[in-house]
Amino acid sequence: MISPARCGTLDDYLAADDIVSIPAVAEQEWDSIRRQAGWQLTRRFCTLRNLLVHGHRFSRDAMGFAWGGIYRTLFVSAIVTTSYRNEGHFRSGERISGTNDFFVGTFALPRSGADVRELVRLVNLRHHVAGVCRPEADDRVRVIDAYEAEFAYVATAFIESIRRGLELCGLPSGSRQGRDLAWPICVVLYQVAGLAGLTRMPGDLAAHERFRDAFDRHLRDRPPSPRVRRMAQEIARRIVPVTASHAAETVAGHIARHIDPETREYLFPGGEIPADLEPQRIEWQRRLASETRTSGIEARSRDRRAIWERPDVAALHRAYQDAVFVNTSDQVDDRLIGAILLHALDAGVAARPLERRSIDLAAGQPLIRQGESVGEMYVVLSATAPLMVLHTAEAAAEPRQVATLAAPTVLGEIGMWRGQPAVATVLSREPNHLEVIVIDRVRFEELKQESGFRAATAAEVQRRLSLNSALVGTLLDDTAARTGDPRLASLAQLFGFLTGDSHVSLDAVIDLPAEATPAECVDALRRQVDDAIRAGLPPDLERYLRNVVATIG
C-alpha cells in the first residue's frame, strides 16, 4: 500500500510485468508514429460541430481536450504546490504558452532539430529547478523516483482527455477503432514525457488503463487539502484564458467542453467563472492571431538560443553546470543557480544584461555584514577562497560560524526579499577574488515579478533548511504528534513545505495566505519559531529551531 505522504513510482500502481522502459525510437519511426496519430486525430475531430464552430481550424478542438488533461493534473497536490511555490501569480500565462510550445513542438517539429532541442533543454531545466528531476549529461534529466507516478500521470491525463474528446466526436473509447487509436496516442505522449525525464511507462493500453484507474483512486482516497485546492483554483483561473485561446473557444465554452465534469467542479465550483477571464482570453487570442502552428515556437526558440550566448547568461550557465557536475559540496545549490538562469532566459531578448563585477576582499573583510541592510544580491560565479557565514546571537560574545560557502553560490536574496537587515555576516578568512553577477535594488524590483526568481528564493530557503531538515523535521513531527500542539503542527508543515516536500498537505499552517511568497513563508516560519520558543519547547528541538532561524536569513 502506498504511503499517504507520497505518490511514488509506477511500481506502487502496476505489477512489474505491466511496466516497460520507454523505448528508444529512431527519428524515421517517430515521424511515422506521430504523423499517423496526427492524421487519425485530425480525421476524427473533423465533425459537423467542429466545422461549424472552427471551420478549417477544427483541430483546435483536439488541442482543447489535450489542455483538459493539464487541468486534471491539478488534483495532484505535488504538482500544485510545486507550481505555486515556484511561480505564484507571476507570468503563468507565458509559462502555459511554454508548455504549449513543448507539447506542440515535440509533436509537430523534427525531434533532432535545433528548435526541439532548445524546447527540451528549457523544460528540463525547469523540471530540475522544480526539484522533480535530476540532471544528467547533454541537458537530459531523469525523474526522481518519488515523483515518477505523478510525472507519468501528466501524460496519462493528456491521453485520457483526448480520448474523452474522441468519445464526444463519435469514437467510443471501448470500440475497436477507439482502442486502435488510443495506443498510438499513448506512445506519442509517453515518448514526449520521456524527453522530459520519464524513463518507464505502462507496457500496453490495458496497463495504461490500470495505471489511470489506480492513480485516480489514489487521488479520490486522499483529496487535496483546502489550501491546495485554493492554489489549484488560482492556477486554473490564471491559465484558462490562455488555453481557451489556443482551443479557439470562449472561456465558458472551453471549460464546459474540454474539462471533465469532476475536474470542472473541483476548479470552478458551481460553474462560477470570473467575468474578467473572457477579456483576458480575447487579448491572448489577439496576441496569438499572427502565429501559425509552429512559427511562434520556432521564433521563440531562436530568440532563446541567442540569449544563451549572451555573456552574462553564458557565465550563469557555466556556473550552473559546475554546480551540477563539478562541485559536489553540500553548500552548492544547483537548482538555485538554475532558477536564476531561467529568470534570465524568461526575461527575453529585450531585457538588459545582468551586471558582472570583480570584487577583491581582504582577509576578514565582509561582503555582507550582520545588522546592515542588504542592498545587492550576488551570484558568485567563482572565488579564490571559501566564504564563511558567521552569526552573532544576542547572548553570545563571539560570532559562530554556521556555514562555509564555495563558488558557485548565491548570496543576499533572502535579505532583499525580506527588506530587513542581514542576520549573518559573509566574509573571507583570507584574501579572495570574486567574480559575481550583481543584482541591485532596481533590478531586484523587476526580478520580483519574474517566475524564475520565486523559484530561486524558494530553492535557497530549501537548501539552508535542508542542512538540518531530517533531524528537525522528525523532532517537529514527533513533538507535534505527542503534544497535539497546533503551533508545532503548523511549524512541521511549513518546515516541510519550505524544505521541498511538495506532498505536505498545508492544512495545519496558521495565519498564512494561500498566495504567500517565499519571503512570507520564511517570515511565518521565523515568527512561529519565536512564538513556540517563548511558549516552551524541549531543549533539543529549541536548539535546532534556533539554528534554523539563524541560517535562513
What three-state secondary structure class fits 235?
Answer: helix
* CA distance linking residue 437 with residue 313, whole number of Å: 10
* CA distance linking residue 269 with residue 259, whole number of Å: 13
- Identify the band that residue 551 occupies on the pLDDT scale cut at 50, 70 and 90: low
pLDDT for the residue 546: 74
Task: Name the superfamily (CATH) of residues 309-459.
Answer: Jelly Rolls (2.60.120.10)
Name the grid cell of 195: 524527453
Q: What is the pLDDT of residues 503-513, one digit of tens each?
A: 666 778 888 77
pLDDT for the residue 502: 58
52 Cα distance to chain centroid: 38
* CA distance linking residue 18 with residue 152, whole number of Å: 14
Interval 307-325 mean pLDDT: 92
Interval 484-508 mean pLDDT: 77
Q: Is the pLDDT of residue 524 over 60?
A: yes
- Among 69-73, 229-233, 292-296, name the most confident range: 69-73
- Identify the band that residue 493 occupies on the pLDDT scale cut at 50, 70 and 90: confident
> Which residue did the predictor score with more confidence, 161 or 235?
161
Interval 348-375 mean pLDDT: 90
Lowest mean per-residue pLDDT among 225-229, 394-398, 518-522: 394-398
> Which residue did the predictor score with more confidence, 472 or 526?
526
Q: What is the pLDDT of residues 248-298, one digit of tens each?
A: 999 999 999 999 999 999 999 999 999 999 999 999 999 888 777 788 889
Interval 180-190 mean pLDDT: 94
Interval 503-525 mean pLDDT: 74
* CA distance linking residue 330 with residue 332, whole number of Å: 6
User: Residues with Cβ < 8 Å from 217, sequence gap 6 or more?
Assistant: none
Name the grid cell of 344: 534570465
The pTM of this model reads: 0.78
pLDDT for the residue 449: 67
Structural domain boundaries in the chain: 28-297, 309-459, 468-551
Lowest mean per-residue pLDDT among 310-314, 386-390, 398-402, 447-451: 447-451
> Which residue did the predictor score with more confidence, 553 or 171?
171
Q: Is the pLDDT of residue 331 over 60?
A: no
Interval 216-231 mean pLDDT: 90
Average pLDDT, the chain: 85
How does DSSP assign 419-474, residue by residue? TS--SSEEE-SS-EEEEEEEEEHHHHHHHTTSHHHHHHHHHHHHHHHHTSHHHHHH
Beta-bridge partner residues of 366 = 427
pLDDT for the residue 2: 38
Q: Is the pLDDT of residue 55 over 70?
A: yes
pLDDT for the residue 338: 84
- Percent of the chain at pLDDT exceeding 90: 44
Instruction: Kindly state the helix (H) or strand (E) to which residue 288 belongs, with its residue range.
Output: helix 277-288
User: Residues with Cβ < 8 Å from 383, sequence gap 6 or more?
Assistant: 406, 407, 428, 432, 433, 434, 435
pLDDT for the residue 109: 87
- Percent of the chain at pLDDT exceeding 70: 86
pLDDT for the residue 88: 44
SS (H, E, C) 49-100: HHHHHHHHHCHHHHHHHHHHHHHHHHHCHHHHHHHHHHHCCCCHHHHHHHHH
- Identify the band that residue 549 occupies on the pLDDT scale cut at 50, 70 and 90: low
Interval 175-180 mean pLDDT: 95
